[in-house]
Amino acid sequence: MSEQFADAFGAVYFITLGCAKNEVDTDRMRSLLLAAGYEEAPDVEEADLAIVNTCSFLASATEESIEATLALAEEAADGVRSLPIVMCGCVPSRYGADLPAELPEVAAFVRTDEEDGIVGVVDGLLGVTRAVPAHVPDVKRTVEGSVAFVKISDGCDRFCSFCAIPYIRGRYRSRPWSEIRDEVVDLVSEGVRELVLIGQDTGIWGRDLAEEGEGPHDLASLLRAVAEAVRPHDVWIRVLYLQPEGMTDDLISAIRDTPEVLPYIDIPVQHCSSRVLSAMNRSGSEEELDELFARLRREIPDMVIRTTYLVGFPGETDEEHERMLAFMDRTGFDYTSVFSFSPEEGTRAVKLDGQIDDDVKLERTQAAMDLAESLGFAATASHVGERAQVIVDGIEQTDEGYELIGHAWFQAPDSDGAVHLDAGEAAVGDILEVEFTDSFCYELVGHVVE
């Protein structure tokens, strides 16, 4: 054990890969370990044990997770010392039975549904003996910075034919309101200025919970309840990962009429062709999507929309691809993530006829990305000359000195670019009034309005 952490049971180093949901899971494990008497190591050299929280959404993500784990093991070996490595998250959940033989460098594997037992796993690996086993279910999350992602559900019931998430994280489970309420109140009391509500399918939150008492029972009432719980603090609330079918009349009203809730919606359409959507085991049509997005922009002032497009799904024709590009252009999405179809082991899409050659997928993906960037860069540039509030996320050193890095309400953290400001009298978490003076790609430059 390093001398720096001699008073603790041990020092734990964390690596998190993948999406924001994994960041939340790492926060949870970190909080449990800190409450149980461990310390967080700032780097691997100071660590007694390392935790790698992995992603397995795509084959490339699985490969990255394994490579990061092996690189960590090699780094420890180069230091001629023992460093137990715990692999957590999606890779163990997806491939758990095969991993011990394939990765002898890893001391323990922990699935997503086992992560609340991380203290016992670490105790065992480091030889910590307790008179009473550590059990801290109500521990507060340790979140640094101005933004906190809050998981309101886990798992998924959609079983889209291209996606392995239901096999990794299980069936859909809404998180109870009491847990969400307690967490957001704690986070805001610790200085968090933006709450980002996430899940695999946030729009159906609550449908698996019994309607008891006066608490929220769907996403619309949840947004209102979260806003009420964090008042009178000046807090932004953003919701991500909504499916088109989840946009009910009441939800549109809640986003429009609740001041704390930002007029920002993330709706992954994946495609606009009803035939392709049906093959994906999704619903909808181009006409229905046109109507939905026109309505959102009509009924919610300053609406900002992010989406996701899956290119090269088996059987996608040149005409269907061109129709999707035309749909993207016509809708004018502010932000678009583009993915090339990956035949994921265990999914139904792997066995579909009409698998598309990699060179065709690459060409289509590039065309979609070029259009997405053109639309996104233009949407970003449209804010030049405007004034808006910006949350300060950090301070970075530049060749000229220091600058503040933040994000505006129309930029989802870690996704949509940032705002760059000359460093002044500001701290992380401050909300500043900013005038935007220039843009480059998805980034904005501005100055603080006194």
Residue-wise pLDDT tens digits, 402-443: 889 999 999 999 899 999 998 778 888 999 999 999 999 999
Cα angle: 192, vertex 198, 210; to 5 degrees: 110
Percentage of the chain beyond pLDDT 90 is 75
Is the pLDDT assigned to residue 106 strictly greater than 50? yes
Give me the mean pLDDT over the 362-381 stretch. Answer: 97
Indicate the CATH number of 3-126 among 3.30.470.10, 3.30.930.10, 3.40.50.12160, 3.30.420.270.
3.40.50.12160
Q: Confidence class of residue 5 from pLDDT cuts 50, 70 and 90?
A: low
The mean-pLDDT minimum among 211-220, 264-273, 317-326, 428-437 falls in: 211-220
HSE on the CB side for 72, CA within 13 Å? Answer: 28
| CATH no., domain 147-381 | 3.80.30.20
| Residue 78 burial (C-beta neighbours within 10 Å; 0-12, 13-18, 19+) | exposed
Is the pLDDT assigned to residue 7 strictly greater than 50? yes
Place of tokens 């609340």: 116
Domain borders along the chain are 3-126, 147-381, 387-448
For residue 31, give both structure tokens. 């909080």
Is the pLDDT assigned to residue 2 strictly greater than 60? no
The mean-pLDDT minimum among 260-264, 341-345, 372-376 falls in: 341-345
For residue 77, give both structure tokens. 């070996």
Distance in Å from the first CA to the final CA of the chain: 50
Residues 155, 173 contacting (CB under 8 angstroms): yes
Q: Confidence class of residue 172 from pLDDT cuts 50, 70 and 90?
A: very high
CA 329, CA 319: separation in Å to the nearest integer?
15
Q: Please tell me whether residue 352 adopts helix, strand or coil conformation.
A: coil
Give me the mean pLDDT over the 256-282 stretch. Answer: 96
Q: Confidence class of residue 144 from pLDDT cuts 50, 70 and 90?
A: confident
Position 1 scores a pLDDT of 45
Q: Please tell me whether 272 is known to bind a ligand.
A: no
Residues 312, 343 contacting (CB under 8 angstroms): no
Position 137 scores a pLDDT of 60
CA 142, CA 72: separation in Å to the nearest integer?
24
| 380-400 tens-digit pLDDT | 999 999 999 999 999 887 777
Containing 94, the helix (H) or strand (E) segment is: helix 90-95
CATH class label, 387-448: mainly beta
HSE on the CB side for 291, CA within 13 Å? Answer: 7
C-alpha distances out from residue 319 to 176, 178, 324, 341, Å? 45, 49, 9, 17
Is the pLDDT assigned to residue 205 strictly greater than 80? yes
Residues 391, 419 contacting (CB under 8 angstroms): no
CA 284, CA 279: separation in Å to the nearest integer?
12
Give me the mean pLDDT over the 221-229 stretch. Answer: 96
Summary mean pLDDT of the chain: 91
Give me the mean pLDDT over the 204-227 stretch. Answer: 87
Cβ–Cβ contacts within 10 Å for residue 303, how many?
19
Q: Which is nearest to 239 in space by CA: 331, 225, 209?
A: 225
| 50-84 tens-digit pLDDT | 999 999 988 889 999 999 999 888 887 776 467 89
Is the pLDDT assigned to residue 288 strictly greater than 60? yes
Instruction: Provide the Cα torsion 368, 370, 375, 381; round to 10°.
Output: 160
CA 355, CA 373: separation in Å to the nearest integer?
27
Is the pLDDT assigned to residue 119 strictly greater than 60? yes
Position 398 scores a pLDDT of 77
Q: Please tell me whether 156 is known to bind a ligand.
A: yes
Position 9 scores a pLDDT of 85
The mean-pLDDT minimum among 7-16, 200-209, 213-222, 393-402 falls in: 393-402
Position 132 scores a pLDDT of 64
Is the pLDDT assigned to residue 21 strictly greater than 80? yes
What does 13-24 look like in DSSP terms, one character per residue?
Answer: EEEE-SSHHHHH
Largest CA distance in the chain: 68
C-alpha distances out from residue 65 to 25, 58, 59, Å? 16, 11, 10
Residue 407 corresponds to which amino acid?
Answer: H
Residues 187, 230 contacting (CB under 8 angstroms): no
Is the pLDDT assigned to residue 4 strictly greater than 70? no
